[in-house]
Structure 1
Amino acid sequence: MKKIETPHGDIKILHEDDDILIIDKPSGLVVHEGDTTTEPTLADYLLKTYPDLAGVGEDELRPGIVHRLDREASGLMVIARNNASFEHLKKQFKKRTIKKEYIALAFGKVIKDEGKILFPIVRSRAGFKMAALPMSADKIEESKKGRLSNRDKGVIEAYEKSREAITEFEVEKKWNHITLLKVKIKTGRTHQIRVHFAAYGHPLVGDDIYGTPKTKARNKKINLGRIFLHAHRLSFTNLNKEKLEFVSELPNNLATYLNQQK
């Protein structure tokens, strides 16, 4: 297996052909350059190894990159090696036919064995964070009819700027204090899984951005050094209309932590 070394761990090349790369991204590595990026990104490392990626896609800072994965998360990504493949993959993401499955560990005991979180997501006033809006559309319309407080006005304004977000989950295993989840997303909003589970009352283990004071204190004791979120399975069709599926098992530190639970 080909690997690209980075200070955060190796980028593993699980598959490559003329049209795509399938990579396993390590936690801690930013996918592409942003306003505050000061270190080499996944895009930079890939370009050094695969110069043909230059010019692929819609943004020179994101060569061949069709989707994102949070810096603190790890796991599977598909990279387009030419514009035909880029457009083909982009259409599948738009139609929501690409299947993405994640493994996540959340604080608390999730009561339902399976469910769907539909909270719309909007960028918060903090700028770098996102916010989920649990209020339903019906409740929003009902609120508009009455006398609105400043808080209600703010919620309605945020709701109108929000975007649809759909997260499905199945419980794999429960302990008294944590729950292991298999998660599928139908939309790809920034921080979607993290912000959805935080709003659902179950922040992800290791997540200090969306965690509560209590879970942040527990994160210090656990000391994973990352969020427990891993892109485990990815399936789509290639340009030849063949269905491809790839799987990445949990990194050693996450698997070790799970094995220590009683």
Structure 2
Amino acid sequence: MSQIPPRWETPKSPIQKHYEKGFLLVVEKPPGIPSQATFDPNRPNLEDLLRIQEKRPNLRLLHRLDRDTSGLLLACIDPAKNKEADAILADSEKTYLCIAKGVPSRKEFRVECFLKDGKGRVSSVRSGGKKAITDFTVLSSNPEKGISILAAKLVTGRRHQIRFHLSMEGTPILGDETYGENKQEKKELVPKPNRFLLHSYLLKFKNEFGEEIRIVSEPPKDFEPYLRFFSGLRFPE
């Protein structure tokens, strides 16, 4: 009698740690797994897996990334320090890398709106939403292939913020089926990725000892086939 394969996959490799000092821990989130528990109690999530790996049942992620977003996440390992950790996160600087369809008309630009949560997506509203602000810098573009790579620096941290803001600009993140264009193009100029290409690349914060911490997560392997389309590429510092 054949066994039914599990509905959800658990990452086979240990969760990578980039930084650990005092009550703070910075880890690498792989794509394809929720940051925190969902309505399905059987679905693996990064926070619970990290609690088991680190043998710290009270560990808490201080923020979250979308399921298919990869990269850096900050956690607090001491529940008595949660308030201090939240203050450190609030003063931190978070920069993402994203590969988008199209070429923005401006090299540097800010996008602002009010976002309201909905079922599976967010929408822009005139009232009743939360202020969402992102600063974007085009790192390189390839008009022939119709793609660009951008750095996105969060001013606020709302659900789906970067994805929605780039869609507003007419340059949705490559592979984003929620906020991307619905119409099927006749000819794809670049390979279709297995997920939307958004990566939490750079995290800066001042730890409890007053030290300025800078942590980088290099672009993951599924970014590599697209990076070759860009010339003069320099990542944010």
Same fold flag (TM > 0.5) = yes
- Partner of residue 116, structure 1: 110
1:232 partnered with 2:201: yes
Tell me if 1:11 matches 2:15.
Answer: yes
1:228 aligned partner, one-letter code? L
2:124 is equivalent to residue 164 of structure 1:
no
| Alpha-carbon offset, residue 252 of structure 1 | 1.5
What TM-score results when the alignment is normalised by the length of structure 1?
0.77
Query: What is the aligned partner in structure 2 of residue 30 from structure 1?
Result: 34
Q: Is the CA contact 2:104–2:169 (under 8 Å) kept in the aligned structure 1?
A: no
Structure 1 pair 39–259 and aligned structure 2 pair: CA distance change class (3 A): same
Q: Deviations over 1:93-141 (max 9, x none)?
A: 44xx2100010111111010001001111123xx111013xxxxxxxxx
Alignment partners' CA distance in 1, 2:162 and 2:151: 11
1:159 Cα shift?
Answer: 2.4
Taking every aligned residue pair, what percent have the same amino acid on both sides? Answer: 29
Partner Cα distance (2:179, 2:159) in 1: 13
1:181-237 Cα offsets, whole Å, 9 max, x none, are 011011110011001111121110010011112368878972311111111100111
Number of matched residues? Answer: 221
Do the aligned partners of residues 218 and 252 (structure 1) sit closer, same or farther apart at CA in structure 2, a change above 3 Å counting? farther
* 1:208 and 2:200 aligned: no
**Structure with larger Rg:** 1
Q: Secondary structure at the match of 1:189?
A: coil
How far, CA to CA, are the matches of 1:243 and 1:83 in structure 2?
23
- Deviation by residue 1:125-177 (Cα, 9 ceiling, x = unmatched): xx111013xxxxxxxxxxxxxxxxxxxxxxxxx42211001100111001111
Q: After TM superposition, give the deviation of residue 6 of structure 1 in Å.
A: 4.0
The 5-angstrom pairing of residues 85-124 of structure 1 reads 85-94=81-90, 97-124=91-118
Q: Which deviations, in whole Å up to 9, do the C-alpha atoms of 1:216-262 show, x marking residues without a partner? A: 88789723111111111001111112111100110012022221568
Q: Would the aligned equivalents of 2:99 and 2:198 in 1 still touch at CA under 8 Å?
A: yes
Aligned residue runs from structure 1 range 241-260, under 5 A = 241-260=210-229
1:130 aligns with 2:130: no
Structure 1 runs not aligned, ≥5 long: 56-62, 133-157
Query: Which shifted more, 199-208 or 32-41?
Result: 32-41
Q: List structure 1 runs of 4+ shifted beyond 6 angstroms.
A: 215-221
CA distance in 2, matches of 1:189, 1:218: 34
Which residue identity lines up with residue 99 of structure 1 in the other structure? E
Q: Greater share of strand residues, 1 or 2?
A: 2
Is the alpha carbon distance of 1:8 and 1:117 closer, same or farther for their aligned partners in structure 2, counting shifts above 3 Å? Answer: farther
Distance 2:187 2:79 in 1: 45
Instruction: Find the counterpart in structure 2 of residue 40 from structure 1.
Output: 44
RMSD, aligned CA:
2.4
Q: Sort the Cα spacing of 1:21 and 1:163 in 2 relative to 1 into closer, same or farther, 3 A.
A: same
**What is the distance in 1 between the residues matched to 2:188 and 2:48?**
31
More helix by share: 1
State the TM-score, normalizing by the size of structure 2.
0.85
Name the aligned partner's letter for residue 123 of structure 2. A
